[in-house]
Amino acid sequence: MSEAPVLVLNAGSSSLKYQLLVPETAEVQAKGIVERIGEAESPVADHAAAMQMMEDDFAAAGVDLDTVGLRAVGHRVVHGGPDFSDPTVIDDDVLDEIKDLIPLAPLHNPGAVSGIEAARAEFDVPHVAIFDTAFFSTLPPAAATYAIPRDLAQKYRIRRYGFHGTSHQYVSRAAAELVGRDLGELNQIVLHLGNGCSASAIRGGVAVETSMGLTPLQGLVMGTRSGDVDPGLHTFLHNELGMSIGDIDTLLNKQSGLKGMAGVNDFRELEERRATGDEAAQLAFDVYVHRLKHYVGAYLALLGRLDVLSFTAGVGENNAALRVAVVDGLDSLGFQVDPELNNARSKVARAVSADGAPIKIAVVPTNEELAIARETAALLESRSD
């Protein structure tokens, strides 16, 4: 049983990412992605067709899903709403509850629902939902509550949920292992900097703050998302330009962030432009760093003491200059980078702070698929006890 693989599915509105892996050994047996699902002139009509393509892909790689001894399917679900705070075995009722959350995540949950339905029809094994919001269900009310009318917030479940939780949890645990201390005694900040970006403050393994909110739009500057703006901006854009709410949503989610400021959403391209003296690229970098500092300082104040600051995801793991910029000038607060460690390229978790510095600064590669596979396996094992 223990060597049997788990299939991890991350179904978006028009894509299906899949990975077949063994939770105990982290061995990846096959992985891939189907894109353009349901788009005009795409050969992939729906998620059921995508599932078929995935199986063909596995077969071509020599993996027969019918005979491989599949243990379970773990589904990434972006929004778990107020009630899903743990991995959950999916039955018809759970699927209905996930559908009921679609108004909270109209861009994300419909894809997950289609993926779950297609996978349940195909694979007669336990299906488990792993929610991106779950790790942040522990946010104290003072952090989770928006200062809007109480009745409205309660009726429509309007609160700060946070996202990327699987990654923040995985990285904070791996960081505790890296520094060789108990998770329970550590105050941590994790910066997940990929296309989407989020920060979290974690006390003793429990999340107490995060930068994303009701939706993944709040907080840090991202590839194409603005992160924090004055909510009055919506009124201004509507009054002055006649923009609709839909237009504004698209503007802030798809045309803002690094792309909006500098024309490119990929951080590597941004760095290439910055190196040529491109003023817009430099300003975009500066805004990105300024916002990060703002959050790191705020979380330091919330935690009262910080033990570990971790960088993860594409930008956090790979961009040494960015890591230096985030803690530049903060020596007196305990942040000291060792330039040699910071510049060394590596795929494994490592400390990049100066020896003896009060705060450990770490680079910890995230692995959401492995985390989902492990949580899926752990839930099923706990149920069979």
Q: Which residues are marked as active site?
A: 132
* 311, burial (CB in 10 Å: exposed 0-12, middle 13-18, buried 19+): buried
Q: Which stretch binds ligand ADP (CB under 6 A): 63-71, 143-151, 297-305, 313-321?
A: 313-321
Among 266, 282, 293, 303, binds ligand ADP (CB under 6 A): 266
Q: How far apart are CA 380 and CA 385, in angstroms?
A: 9
Q: Which is nearer to ligand ADP, 136 or 311 (CB)?
A: 311
Q: Which stretch binds ligand ADP (CB under 6 A): 24-32, 193-201, 239-247, 327-335?
A: 193-201
Among 313, 349, 364, 371, binds ligand ADP (CB under 6 A): 313
Q: Which stretch binds ligand ADP (CB under 6 A): 62-70, 129-137, 145-153, 312-320?
A: 312-320
Q: Residue 360: beta bridge partners?
A: 308
Non-local CB neighbours of 16 within 8 Å, separated by 6+ positions: 9, 10, 33, 34, 37, 47, 50, 51, 54, 115
319 binds ligand ADP (CB under 6 A): yes
Q: Which of 324, 380, 372, 382 is nearest to 132 (CA)?
A: 372
Q: Which is nearer to ligand ADP, 187 or 265 (CB)?
A: 265
267 binds ligand ADP (CB under 6 A): yes
How near is the Cβ of 196 to ligand ADP at its closest, in Å? 5
What's at 66, amino acid-wise? Answer: D
What's at 154, amino acid-wise? Answer: Q
* 43, burial (CB in 10 Å: exposed 0-12, middle 13-18, buried 19+): exposed
**If you count them, how many residues does the chain have?**
385
At 318, list the tokens: 């790979």
How near is the Cβ of 192 to ligand ADP at its closest, in Å? 8
| Binders in 197-226 for ligand ADP, by CB under 6 A | 223
318 binds ligand ADP (CB under 6 A): yes
At 60, list the tokens: 């071509």
User: Interface with ligand ADP by CB under 6 A: which residues?
Assistant: 194-196, 223, 266-268, 313-315, 318-319
